[in-house]
Amino acid sequence: MEKIINLSKRRGFIFPGSEIYGGLANSWDYGPLGAELKKNIKDEWWNRFVRKRTDMVGLDAALMMNPKVWEASGHVAGFSDPLVECKKCHNRYRADQVDPKGACPNCGSKGSFTEAKQFNLMFKTFIGPAEEKADAVYLRPELAQAMFVNFKNVLETTRKRLPFGIASQGRVFRNEITPGNYIFRTREFDLMEFEYFVHPKEWEKHFEKWLKEMKKWLKDLGVSEKKLHFVDVPEGERAHYSKRTVDIEYAYPFGQKELYGLAYRGDFDLAQHEKASGQDLKYTDPEDPKEKFLPHVIEPTFGLDRSVLVAMLEAYQEEQAPTGEGGEELRVVMKFPKWLAPVKVAVLPLSKKPELSKIAKPIYEELSEGFVCEYDETQSIGKRYRRQDEIGTPYCITVDFDTIKDKAVTVRDRDTMKQKRVKIAKLAEHLAELLEK
């Protein structure tokens, strides 16, 4: 973890939030490379699960909703964790993560914890000019409820038939008692998920189908099967409305913990909102108008920040590489899948000479039309290669003095470090073919 955190700060993937003011606990900002990495995951997910499917539509909902939504869903009454506080140092912990009779992890004081009390995880705020007269609202703690309350709108406007899904991506907020482990658990984070509405008799078939789809997504993200664990949550630990939940866990450096989740929610949410709102949320079968029922729901949830973390952990490699003097040195390389790499191509003149820059800059401008590119002409070519290896750039283009004569450049492969001479006129086409593989 320390290596990933240091590389992220040094190369511009992830910065500590508000750093010049001493930071804010468990707050992180995505830098230039991290923003690209995160966007690549979001775009690929959206293209795969929404745009390329006829049974899925998208939704971009408001962060703040009518408080009655959260009352109906049970969040106001039940979205909480048991909290204990050390009487000596006043640090707070989830009750299930400490021994109430043991020592405080912070100050070592024994038997000093308060009685456990429930702590609601939702962030409360106010709409209106004066707090005492304003209406209380909550920042959304999940994406799901917006998809349920918009079920009727989506059904009427898209005329979809079962089975179909509503997908959403976005920021959610949870006032976690003990956030930590870098971007694994924070108080604001991004989710990608969809609610897939099915006939009650067909939920098991669709559950298995989406479990396979999630496994395929993880493989394409570059995640090793050996580090994944699919845990069927036992009865008694599942939500009361769920007949099956699978936690997809990953072997992080700090332990095996949840990455994604797949839940069968039944008709609980639609039933709650139908009852609380007075609206008819039933589905009418077009082939049998007499059959009206509340659809059941399969919910695959993908943590976006955890996807970034796992992708970086999987990509990080240390290996011996040859030096220009015939020796070897340690090379750090981020072996992202090509589609995921934040920078696809780096254009590197052999040296900072006007005659090379004159050729290299137009190449960069042309390639930037189709790829995310970097241009770098400072330091030795060896150091620039190493920098591109560390940020995971699949291909480096070197413009040298032979380029002036043969109108060709050297294309270097990140993973094999092999180099190939390619004509400038064929370069964009050649790179497009490489990046498609």
pLDDT of residue 167: 97
Torsion region of 26: left, alpha or beta (phi above 0 gives left; psi -120 to 50 gives alpha):
left
What are the CA-CA distances from residue 172 to residues 138, 186, 273 (Å)? 11, 10, 20
CB atoms within 10 A of CB 378: 9
**Bridge-based pairing state of the strands 345-349 and 395-399:** parallel
CA–CA separation, 437 and 433 (whole Å): 7
Mean pLDDT score, 287-299: 90
Q: Is the dihedral of CA 113, 115, 120, 124 positive or negative?
A: negative
Q: Is the dihedral of CA 34, 36, 42, 48 positive or negative?
A: negative
Residue % of the chain over a pLDDT of 70: 94
Q: How confident is the model at residue 293 (pLDDT cuts 50, 70, 90)?
A: very high
CA–CA separation, 380 and 3 (whole Å): 24
Q: Degrees (nearest 5) of the Cα angle 29, 341, 249? A: 70
pLDDT tens per residue across span 55-67: 999 999 999 998 8
CA–CA separation, 341 and 11 (whole Å): 14
Of the listed ranges 69-83, 170-184, 316-330, 356-370, the least confidently predicted one is 69-83
DSSP state of 18: T
Residue with tokens 């040296």: 351
Q: What is the dihedral of CA 175, 73, 49, 281, to 10 degrees?
A: -160
Q: Is 308 exposed, middle or buried (0-12, 13-18, 19+ CB in 10 A)?
A: buried
Q: What is the pTM of this model?
A: 0.88
Q: How confident is the model at residue 201 (pLDDT cuts 50, 70, 90)?
A: very high
* Pair 225, 219: CB distance under 8 Å: yes
Mean pLDDT score, 42-61: 97
Q: Helix (H, G, I), strand (E, B), or coil: what is residue 328?
A: strand
* Pair 249, 233: CB distance under 8 Å: no
Q: How confident is the model at residue 257 (pLDDT cuts 50, 70, 90)?
A: very high
pLDDT of residue 414: 95
Which residue did the predictor score with more confidence, 105 or 425?
425
pLDDT tens per residue across span 88-139: 776 767 676 777 778 887 777 777 777 777 666 888 888 877 666 568 888 9
Q: How confident is the model at residue 45 (pLDDT cuts 50, 70, 90)?
A: very high
pLDDT of residue 175: 83
Q: Domains, the chain, ranges and CATH? A: 2-64+125-311 (3.30.930.10), 343-436 (3.40.50.800)
pLDDT tens per residue across span 308-354: 999 999 999 999 887 766 778 889 999 999 999 999 999 999 988 99
Q: Degrees (nearest 5) of the Cα angle 316, 320, 326? A: 145
pLDDT of residue 134: 64
Mean pLDDT score, 414-431: 94
